[in-house]
Amino acid sequence: MKTIAFLSGKGGVGKTTLAANIAVALAQRKKHVALIDLDPQNAQRLHLGMDPDEIAGLVREGISPGSLFDSPFGIKFIPFGRVTGSELDDFEAQLKKNRRWVADGIESLVKGSFDFVILDTPPGPSVYLQQALMAAQRAMVVVLADAASYLTLPKIESLVQEYTAQRPDFEGVSILINQMPTNSKLGHQVRSALYANYSKNLVPIAVYKDARVAQALAFERPVLQYEPGCKASLNIQNVADWLIDSTDQ
């Protein structure tokens, strides 16, 4: 079982979209996948068509075999859940006290029942990122092919190093470019710069900017199911194949 944390320095780069869709692509490849939303925005459920009034989830039920929902897209899923401000404060206080709350929860899932556990996190440093990095064997840093993403990479790398320093089972960081523009000189320059400076870490497939991704979200479905043949879906499937090859799962 491999736990992979999706993270980013900058917000709105596509972590939630890619975490959901890569999870679905892995399930389509007969992998057993659990997706856990560690972001109080509680937005992961939007990609999976889950009832917005559902209040169960991470905060109320924790991480256990009984708190996993069956999503119609072949994966097991724990939403963050709908919570009040004071419930959120209490929950975050609990996470600050026990840095291994998420890691212990994942370990409580039946051994051998999952090939992949995918964690979605809020952007930048947070108690959720810290929890994710105490649990994950791999970190998938999602970036845009722009200067702002490029410039935040050293900061996010040092955060990952700090939180995983005591973890001999942590395998490392991969960098995944999302929303790659088709015709942008700057986009291609940033991609080349990333390749030049992070060639060992860069995922060899970029996910292109594709209007179908936003359309799929409007229908509360993964783009992989909404339009399996579109450019972004094909890129996402290639990333899933790469992930399977590079983790020997």
Range in contact with Mg ion (rule: CB under 5 A) among 10-18, 70-78, 196-204, 222-230: 10-18
Range in contact with Mg ion (rule: CB under 5 A) among 7-15, 28-36, 153-161, 228-236: 7-15
Our finding on whether 8 is near ligand ATP (CB under 6 A) is yes
Range in contact with ligand ATP (rule: CB under 6 A) among 49-57, 71-79, 103-111, 202-210: 202-210
Size of the site for Mg ion (CB under 5 A): 2
> Interface residues for ligand ATP in 89-148 (CB under 6 A)?
122-123
Which two tokens mark 120?
């979605």
Q: What is the pattern of x (binds Mg ion, CB under 5 A) and - over residues 13-52?
A: --xx------------------------------------
| Whole-angstrom distance, CA of residue 243 vs CA of residue 203 | 9
Our finding on whether 209 is near ligand ATP (CB under 6 A) is yes
The smaller minimum CB distance to ligand ATP, of residues 59 and 143, is found at 143
Contact (Cβ atoms closer than 8 angstroms) between residue 155 and residue 44: no
Our finding on whether 9 is near ligand ATP (CB under 6 A) is no
Smallest distance, ligand ATP to C-beta of residue 136, A = 17
The bridge status of strand 2-7 relative to strand 138-144 is parallel
Among 15, 45, 138, 221, binds ligand ATP (CB under 6 A): 15
Q: What is the secondary structure of 160-181 as a DSSP string? A: HHHHHTT-TT--EEEEEEESB-
Residue numbers of the site for Mg ion (CB under 5 A)?
Answer: 15-16
Residues in touch with ligand ATP (CB under 6 A):
8, 11-17, 39, 41, 122-123, 178-179, 207, 209-210, 213-214, 217, 232
